[in-house]
Amino acid sequence: MVANGFIWMLYGFLQDLPSVWSANMVGAILGVYYFKEFKSYCPVGSSNLPGTARQHKLIVSWIIFANLFVVFNMSKTKAADIIGKEAVFMYVVLFASPLAALKDVIETKSAVSIPLPFTIASTLNCSLWSIVGLLKLNDFNIYFPCMLGLGCAVLQLCLKGIYDDGISDGRAGDSHQEMSKV
């Protein structure tokens, strides 16, 4: 989230789009806060991330520095083109990542692994940015990944609606029901 917000903020600056850079500046700052909070609740050396918290900080730092290198060493047009393409990639990865659990959701008939608050937020965010990107800014780098993200979010909502958390069919929810008795 931090890297994604930072990249979009840079893109907004390079394209002279205050609505893009200001919204994503807030997003990057909130991403830092979220990461700090998340890390404070993770046991030291936990392996529930793909990698460690230290590796995440290192990767995000490299992304930030690499993008600043592009901004300060290329023409504004070339930098905007490169960072715009990178932003599209990052956005799609961010909003499609919950679909990594798709196979598990279908096999277990439980959508417990799909975070509903994130999915609702993604649906709203992608809807609004799709509209702004297409109708107001007419910027492919904004509306295209937002429309893909919207498709991913709607698919996740459908899976959540179809399978819920698996409690009703007695399969995936058994452990949840047993835990609630304790």
pLDDT per position as a tens digit, 68-85: 999 999 999 999 999 999
Per-residue pLDDT of 74-132, as tens digits, reads 999 999 999 999 999 998 888 877 777 888 888 899 998 888 898 899 899 999 999 99
Q: How confident is the model at residue 17 (pLDDT cuts 50, 70, 90)?
A: very high
Residues 142 and 129: beta-carbon distance below 8 Å: yes
Neighbours of 134 (CB within 10 A): 16
For residue 38, the tally of other CB atoms under 10 A from its CB is: 13
Helix, coil or strand: residue 120: helix
Instruction: Give residue 182's pLDDT.
Output: 43
CB 32 within 8 A of CB 60: no
Question: pTM of the entire structure?
Answer: 0.79
* 10 contacts 90 by C-beta, under 8 angstroms: no
Burial of 88 (0-12, 13-18, 19+ CB in 10 A): buried
State the pLDDT confidence band at 165, using cuts at 50, 70 and 90.
confident
Q: How far apart are CA 29 and CA 4, in angstroms?
A: 11
Residue the block writes with tokens 């799909």 = 114
pLDDT-based confidence at residue 66 (cuts at 50, 70, 90):
very high
- Residue 128, pLDDT score: 96
